Structures are given as C-alpha cells and as structure tokens.
Amino acid sequence: MSERTPLLHYRLSASGHEPGEPREHRQTTSAGHEEPDTRSRRPGARNPAAAQPPKLNTFFGVVIPTLLSMFSVVVFLRIGFVVGQCGLYQTIAMLLVAYFIISMTVLSVCAISTNGALDAGGAYYMISRALGPEFGGSIGIMFFLANVCGSALYVLGLVEAVLTTFGLPDDGSLSMSRSAVLPVGYWWSLLYGTVILLLCVLVCLVGAHIYAKATFLIFIIVMVVLGTIFISFFAVPFRTVQLPGSNSTIGPSRANFTGFKLDTLTGNLQADYTLDYTTKAMMSFATVFAVMFNGCTGIMAGSNMSGDLKNPSYSIPRGTITAVIFTFIIYNLLSLLISCTCDRILLQKDYGFLRDINVWGPFVTVGVYSSTLSAAMSNLIGASRILFALAKDDLFGRVLSPAKRTSASGNPWVSVLISWFLVQLVLFSGKLNTIASIVTIFFLLVYAAVDLACLALEWASAPNFRPTFRYFTWHTCVLGIIGCAVMMFLINAIYASASIAFMLLLLLLIHYLSPVSSWGCISQALIFHQVRKYLLMLDVRKDHVKFWRPQVLLMVSNPRSSVGLITFINHIKKSGLYVLGHVQLGDLDVLPSDPLQAQYDSWLSLVDHLNIKAFVNLTLADSIRHGVQHLLFISGLGGMRPNTLVLGFYDDASPQDQLQDSSLSMSKFLDNSSQNEDPEDQDEPPFHFPPVRGGVAVGRGAVWGGKSLGPQEYVCIIADAVKMLKNVALARYFGQFDHTHALQGPIFVDVWPVNLLRPDSAAYVDTCSLFLLQLACILNMTRAWQKARLRLFLCVEEGRSLKGTEQKLGHLLKDLRMKADICTVPWDSEVALHWQRQTRLDRNEKEEELESEEGGVEADKFFSNSFPSNTSRVSDEYLQAVNKLILEQKLRPPAVRFLYLPRPPADTSRYSDYLNQLELLTRDLGPTLLIHGVTPVITTDL
C-alpha cells in the first residue's frame, strides 16, 4: 500500500462527494492547496492507480469482517457452554456487561475515526496518533499479540469442531459413525491446526481484496446456518442426543432436546458451574466470561482494515455499530431459545449440540467451519496490518524493518508471514479455553487504551479534535476504561498484571529508543491545558516570603562561551523559573522576516544538550538595554515571572568556545543551507550559534548580538533591573567553570555578606545580605552541592566586640536554619585606607559646597554625590587591598564566591567608575557572583 499524505487522504463531508465516490487524483501544492494532477502520461501508458486493488466499502470492509469475528466460534461452539454453566440470568448479565464495555469502546473508536484521515493500522493508528509514539507503540504490540492469539484461538476452535465430527474416540473404542476417520491427540490436533493456518495464510498473502470476497461467501453461509438454527428450535420435536464418548464415563451418556418447556427453562435459569470436559478445569463466572467475551472482541476487525477501505471515517462507525447491534440481538435470542429447549446436561457435556438438534446436522458443521475460518483469517490479516503499521513508523528501529516490505499490489506479505509464524507458536497451547483468558485480557487492554486516547483528546480540548461522530462524552470513555480494567482483573489478576507490566516495559523501551515522529503528542496538549489552568490559579497577590524561590532570567550573549554559567545557574533556581534570554540587534521594519524564528531550534537543542530545565526567550531590539527591558517586562506568565536578572561580567576576558561543535564554522553560520544537513551525520547536535570573539575585545565590551556593549549601557541595564524591583547578579570568571571539576575533593562556598564598597556601614542583616545567604543556602541544598561547606566571612575591626558579633551572627544563622562556618577576618588596614581618603573627600566637599553657593551650581549635583552607593568615596588602593584580603585567606580556595553588589550610583556619569570598582574588587577571585537583592526572601516564621 502506497503512503498518502494526510491532506490527500482526508475527506471532508462538505466537499460535495458522497462517501466512497471516486475522486480525481490530486496532489498537494507547496501552499497546502489541492490541485489536479497534471502529470503527462504517454498514450497507452498504464495508470498507476489501476495496479492497486479496489478499496472496500462499508459492507465488505467493516460489517462482514466484524460480524464474522464476533460470531466465530462462540455462536456455534460456546453459546451452549455459557448458558449451561452460568444459567440464563448470568448469561444475560454477561452479555450486558460485555456489550456495555465494547459499546463504550465503539463510541470512542467512532469518535477518533471521524476526526481525520485514517491509514493502515486500525486501533494502533488511532492510539499512536492520539497518545504519541511511546503509548501507541506499546499498545500496538499488545494489539498485535491479541490478534495473533485470537487467530490461534479460532484455529483451535475449528480443530475442535472438526474432531467433534470426524475424530475417532480417544478411549480406544470403535466409533459407530462412518465419518469418524481422523485420529485424535495433541500432536494430531497440532497438525490439523497447522494445515488450517496454512490455508488462512494463503488467502491473506493474495491480499485484502480476495479476503473480502472469501469472507462474503462465508458470510452468506453463516447467515443461512443461523437461519436453520432458529428454525430448528421451532421445527424439531423432542430429541435424545448422544453425548461425546469422553463424557459417557462421567454421568449419563445421553441428554434431551425437549423443545419449548417451562420446566426446561426453569432448570436453566440459575448458574451451575462444573468441570469443563475439554480442559478438566472447574469453571467460574470469570473463566466463562473470558470464553464468552471472545465473541465480542471482533469489534476492531473493521478498524484493522482501515488502510484498505475507500472511506475509513465513513465506514468504520457505521459498519461497527451495525455489527454490534446485530450480534447483540442474535446472542440474546440464542441464549433464550437454548434455555427454553435444552437440558442442562446437554449444554454442559456437548458443546456441539447445535449440530445434533438442527433440521440437517451438516448445516451447523459447515457454519462452524466457515465462521471460525473467517475469524482466524480476520485476526491474521488484522495482525499483519498492525505489524506493517508499526514497521512503517520505525518505533523499534531495524527490528521490524523487514515487515515494511510489500508486494506490487501493496500487500504486506512479510508481515503476514511473521504473523503466521507467531500464530503457529501459539497453537502449541493445544486447547481453546487455555488461551481464551489471555486473548480476552489483551483485547480488554487495547479497548481501555482506545477509551483513554479518546478521553485524552476530549480533556485536552484541542481545537482540531472535532469528530463528526458526536454520540460520546468523556463519561463514556471513563466508563469504558473502568469496565475494561475491572473485567481484566476479574478474569485473571495474574495475567492482567503481567500484560500491564509488559506494556509498561514496551513503553519504556520505545521511550529509550526515542523515535522521531511528526504525529503530535496528546501529552503536550494535556500539559498545556493543565498548566494554563494552574497559571490562572497562581495569584501574585497571594505571594508570601515563606514560599519565595528564585526565578532567574539569565542574559546570554553567545551560548558558546556561557556553558559554565548556564549550568551553574541551573543549580540555584530551586525548582523555580529559569529563562535563557538573548537580545539580537535589528529592526523588524527593514527585515524581510523575523530572524529569531530560525534560532529557536538551536537554543532548544542547547537546553537538551546541557540537560537543564530552562525556557528560551529571544527578542529583537535596537539596543541591548531595550532588549533586556523587553525581556524583564514580558518574560514569564502570570505568577511565574523572573525576579532575578543574571548578567555576565563586563571585562576584557577572551571568551572560549565551550561547545566544541566541530560541525560549525562562521561560513556555516552565515550560510542558511547548513540547516538542511542531516543531524544523524554529525556527532554533536547542530548549534547554529556564531563563533566567539576569538579574543578580540571590542571597546572593552562583551559582544552582544554581534555589536559591542559599552560600559555605560551595561550599568544602565543593572539600574533598570533595580528600578523594576528585580534582584541582580553579575557572574565573573564562569567562562571556564566546570562543575564536575569544581565538585571534586573538599568543596567550599564563600559568602561575604557585607557591602565592601561601603566599609563605614558594614551591616550583615540588610535585605541584600540576606539575599546572598539565601542563594548560597539554595545552592547547598541541590544534590550536586550538598557536600559543599558554606563559609561566612565576618569582617571586623579592633575595638569592636568580636565574640559578640560572631555570636549574634551565629544565632541569626540558627534562626534561619542555615549551616555555615563563621570565619572572622580583621580588616583594619583596609578600613584605614578608606578613612584616609574619606577625610580628604570631606574637606573637598565642603569647599565644593561653598563654591556651589557662590557659583550657582545646581543642588542636584550635590545630591547625586551623597547617594548611598558611595561610589566616589572608595579609592582604588582600598579596593585592591580588599581584593588582596579575600585572596590571602589561608584556607582552601572555594568553588565559588558570593559577594555583595551595591546598587549603581544615581549619577549616570559615574557608571564607568562604578564598573571599574567592581572589576578591581573581583579581580582574579575565580568564579564569583556579585549579588544585589531588593526584596525580602527569607523569614524566621513557621
């Protein structure tokens, strides 16, 4: 069968064509419209469509296969067994329960099948396209095995029927019947089953068209036989029936067909469970239901032929519902008529009694042979179609690749042969009732999956889920799932548990193989639906400091030089929002298209490659500052918005390429054709990022979006974030940070919670200091950093109560439930350098004040000088001394340091000085985070 595009294969009811009406061959244009195929054909050339066999309509493709599969062995060989064991009351109850379950499933099948174009695979195709490759592939294998076991079950049923008529007595006595010519026994039964299966395989190898013709002939025979059976109940008088030889030694050897009698009906109302004379096992409600339910498992026979139907969306619902209603009526009528006319002993000891009471016995024999043979072929061809669909989807790699092969007419002959081989293996079980429970559980599991697929589509509320069949709700799906699950465990809890476990193993296997599919996955729709609902419930007005967590926006200029920082920030997000932001300079008015759309795949591939939990947010702006403003304003949604901005440090350090993607070069980045390369040919995922600067600093600035970023604009970004009440962190020396190397041996995290740029106001308990402690504690709580020890450095001067200050800080840490080693650091000499400069500044400020009064200098100049940032009040000598103090601690170097970041000065003209002071303070310190907190993030309350 040739593949068709969904658009080509899709049929709309409003298109003006009647269902099944032939259409002009069409091809899809690049714009998505259908146009007539105008390809030239040579005179006398063979039409490619003519080589394909004609498709099947509703009656031949759905009604007949479904009817024959649902009748099969049960209607002729097991309906009396069910009534004889369960009685009429429980038989009707079983039929109601069974048909309730399958009716719920049929409604789900009808809904899914009318929601779009169906291809080969039936229920597997529906489930996989709705639930995704993992769930669909695992259920597809289960459905394939169910059809394989079902085919074997019907072959064994046919063997049983043949031996009932033509088999020699197994007790060694001579049979009085001339037709008893076949030897009996396990190996003989296996031989007969093999021959019957070969006949089925030959029909299936020819193709679905011949199969449809054969089943139509069988359908006519079965309907005639059913007619004679109903006539026999009224036309045949009282008759004594000889029980099979194997039963003559256990109880009476004869039983009666009484005709319509009230006493007979009364005796057949209640249950009377006895030994099954074919398996010698004691029957129960569950085991009898398992056998009876096999008469209902054929509802997917028409769906399995979806690839061979003219119009699957039209034929499957109508044909399946018609077959279900018809079989339900027949089963109930047969159960009632049997209860009124047959002795209980006849029903329990002779499963082929319908032949003995028929107006002409051979009629029933022919009906049994025809229906079971048809059901066996139906399951065999259904299994092959499912296997072919699984192979085409490449869910199991090369394991199923041979099953893709088809004949010239599109018949998957390799899949048929594989299915035949597996059915032959199942035939070694020997008895019909032995595998009935397994087959029933497999089918129930598949039906539950179909209901689950429909339920997921309904709950996801996807706009494209609008089936033309509307007689279903999510309630019917839930009832179908519950009914299938309950009956699975009632039939056999061990088999049910094993089948579910096997399905989950298959699911994990497919997930591990990670097949690439373009079907879409229902999980994404369900996640979207639930996330939207909970985001609406996440009210920012109900935020509380007890439940604060960092929600980080990390600005990345070039991911190639930022891998270390990206992975480190991933550790301190504490299950919070993590957004990778990037600004590209440009003007959309003068560009032909949005240049960011082509970059998203590379960024998402980077997230997958680094195994981090982050979102990506890109923006186009006329400047880096405006781009960061955009991202701070619009990133996130509802109560999930970034509260912390992280920037790389502004310095002259040469960036290094940490991705080491050898498949990229500058020419590849500029050449969009490189995006069309096959990723499988590359060892690493294709990251289409520009190369790093190669050590060339442009205007002392880090390159953002291909242009230099000046120091003034960089500090403006920090000031903007503070105005927006966002916490700010500047990361320095993370270009070569490798957390794997950093976490070897003893690990320390140093925290300096004092504003080192203002030694005259050294406070450890302000908002910013507590924010530092909180982030360090969060880092220590992550799995990778749990073995790290926090070191809290307390800067003190002589004359102050050292012990009292240390105890006070220790009590604070205890109240905050933080474990840290407090290290006292004397810094008298450093503070002395500060006060020396402070004295000179105070003298100069007084002089400037007098000059401003005399010269009329504006007062806001003085105000900006006295702003608390104190940028102009520390000298380079002091900063170098503090930097040396931090470096000369006689302790093991830390993996990372947390320092206090003062806010930028109010006077924008001093931004360069501010940045220079930060550079002097952090020079050669190794991986360092300069952090400024603006909101309370920690509390001692319960």
pLDDT digits over 771-818, tens only? Answer: 888 898 889 888 888 888 888 888 877 666 666 667 777 787 887 778
User: Looking at the domain assignment, is residue 775 inside a domain?
Assistant: yes
Encoded amino acid at 434, one letter: T
In degrees rounded to 5, what are phi and psi of residue 478? -65, -45
Domain end, chosen from 513, 545, 571, is at 513
The confidence score (pLDDT) of residue 333 equals 93
Q: pLDDT of 369-385, one tens digit each? A: 888 888 788 888 888 88
Identify the residue with better confidence: 39 or 820: 820
The confidence score (pLDDT) of residue 583 equals 92
User: Looking at the domain assignment, is residue 572 inside a domain?
Assistant: no
- CATH number, domain of 745, equals 3.40.50
User: What DSSP string runs through 594-625?
Assistant: -TTGGGHHHHHHHHHHHT---EEEEEEESSHH
H-type alpha helices, 239-360: 262-267, 285-293, 301-304, 312-341, 344-349, 353-357
What percent of the chain lies above the pLDDT cut of 90?
17
User: Looking at the domain assignment, is residue 797 inside a domain?
Assistant: yes
Stretch 816-835: mean pLDDT: 76
Burial of 630 (0-12, 13-18, 19+ CB in 10 A): middle
- CATH number, domain of 375, equals 1.20.1740.10
Range of the domain at 102: 60-171+179-513
DSSP single-letter state for residue 114: T
DSSP single-letter state for residue 856: T
What percent of the chain lies above the pLDDT cut of 70?
79
Question: Is-contact 298 70, C-beta < 8 A?
Answer: yes
Residues 581, 582, 587, 591, Cα dihedral to 10°: -110
Identify the residue with better confidence: 338 or 281: 338
User: Looking at the domain assignment, is residue 329 inside a domain?
Assistant: yes
Q: pLDDT of 635-655, one tens digit each? A: 888 888 999 999 999 888 778
Tokens of 31: 């714009």
- Report the C-alpha gap between 601 and 598 in whole angstroms: 7
66, pLDDT greater than 80: yes
Stretch 465-471: mean pLDDT: 82
Instruction: Give the count of beta carbons closer than 10 Å to the beta carbon of residue 613.
Output: 11
Q: Is the pTM of this model over 0.95?
A: no
If pLDDT is split at 50, 70 and 90, which confidence band does 667 have? very low
Q: Which of 50-64, 721-735, 829-843 has the highest mean pLDDT?
A: 721-735
If pLDDT is split at 50, 70 and 90, which confidence band does 867 have? very low
663, pLDDT greater than 50: no
Which of 666, 667, 663, 665 minimizes the C-alpha distance to 680?
A: 663
- Report the C-alpha gap between 87 and 329 in whole angstroms: 18
If pLDDT is split at 50, 70 and 90, which confidence band does 872 have? low
Q: pLDDT of 422-450, one tens digit each? A: 999 988 876 666 677 788 888 888 888 88
The confidence score (pLDDT) of residue 560 equals 87
User: Looking at the domain assignment, is residue 509 inside a domain?
Assistant: yes
Secondary structure element (H or E) that encloses residue 28, with its range:
strand 26-28
User: Looking at the domain assignment, is residue 713 inside a domain?
Assistant: no
Encoded amino acid at 708, one letter: S
The confidence score (pLDDT) of residue 552 equals 94
The confidence score (pLDDT) of residue 22 equals 39
Question: Is-contact 653 561, C-beta < 8 A?
Answer: no
If pLDDT is split at 50, 70 and 90, which confidence band does 64 have? confident
Secondary structure element (H or E) that encloses residue 204, with its range:
helix 186-206
User: Looking at the domain assignment, is residue 139 inside a domain?
Assistant: yes
Question: Is-contact 341 260, C-beta < 8 A?
Answer: yes
Identify the residue with better confidence: 41 or 318: 318
Q: Which of 194-198, 395-399, 410-414 has the highest mean pLDDT?
A: 194-198
630, pLDDT greater than 50: yes
- Cα 517 to chain centroid, rounded: 12
854, pLDDT greater than 60: no
Q: Which of 171-180, 282-291, 927-936 has the highest mean pLDDT?
A: 927-936
The confidence score (pLDDT) of residue 1 equals 38
829, pLDDT greater than 80: no
Question: Is-contact 487 523, C-beta < 8 A?
Answer: no
Q: Which of 73-82, 435-444, 599-608, 803-812 has the highest mean pLDDT?
A: 599-608
If pLDDT is split at 50, 70 and 90, which confidence band does 901 have? very high
Tokens of 655: 């960036």
The confidence score (pLDDT) of residue 358 equals 84
The confidence score (pLDDT) of residue 241 equals 79
- Report the C-alpha gap between 272 and 525 in whole angstroms: 51
Lowest mean pLDDT among 16-20, 344-348, 475-479, 561-565: 16-20
Which of 702, 715, 597 minimizes the C-alpha distance to 651?
A: 702
The confidence score (pLDDT) of residue 11 equals 33
Which of 87, 88, 167 minimizes the C-alpha distance to 365?
A: 167
Lowest mean pLDDT among 401-405, 557-561, 717-721: 401-405
- Report the C-alpha gap between 174 and 168 in whole angstroms: 8
39, pLDDT greater than 70: no
If pLDDT is split at 50, 70 and 90, which confidence band does 171 have? low
Q: 573 vs 349, 390, 567, 568, 774, CA distance in Å? A: 72, 41, 11, 9, 12
If pLDDT is split at 50, 70 and 90, which confidence band does 325 have? very high
The confidence score (pLDDT) of residue 467 equals 85
The confidence score (pLDDT) of residue 800 equals 62
- Report the C-alpha gap between 495 and 435 in whole angstroms: 11
Looking from the CA of 816 toward its CB, the CA atoms found within 13 Å total: 23
The confidence score (pLDDT) of residue 340 equals 92
If pLDDT is split at 50, 70 and 90, which confidence band does 932 have? very high
Identify the residue with better confidence: 702 or 754: 754
Q: How does 895-928 read in b/e, with b if 16+ C-beta sit within 10 Å? A: bbbbbbbbbbbbbeebbebbbebbbbbbbebbbb
- Report the C-alpha gap between 773 and 781 in whole angstroms: 12
853, pLDDT greater than 90: no
User: Looking at the domain assignment, is residue 267 inside a domain?
Assistant: yes
Mean pLDDT of the chain: 78
- Report the C-alpha gap between 381 and 368 in whole angstroms: 20
Tokens of 284: 């129960």
Q: How many structural domains comprise the chain?
A: 2
Question: CA 129, 135, 137, 142 torsion: positive or negative?
Answer: negative
Domain end, chosen from 465, 481, 513, is at 513
The confidence score (pLDDT) of residue 687 equals 73
Question: Is-contact 712 908, C-beta < 8 A?
Answer: yes
Stretch 827-840: mean pLDDT: 66
63, pLDDT greater than 80: yes
Stretch 523-547: mean pLDDT: 80
The confidence score (pLDDT) of residue 17 equals 41
3-state secondary structure of 672: helix
228, pLDDT greater than 60: yes
Could you tell me which residues come within 8 angstroms of residue 416 by beta carbon, excluding any fewer than 6 positions away?
A: 201, 204, 205, 380, 381, 384
The confidence score (pLDDT) of residue 310 equals 81
If pLDDT is split at 50, 70 and 90, which confidence band does 723 have? very high
If pLDDT is split at 50, 70 and 90, which confidence band does 40 have? very low
Domain end, chosen from 484, 513, 542, is at 513
34, pLDDT greater than 80: no
- Report the C-alpha gap between 535 and 537 in whole angstroms: 5
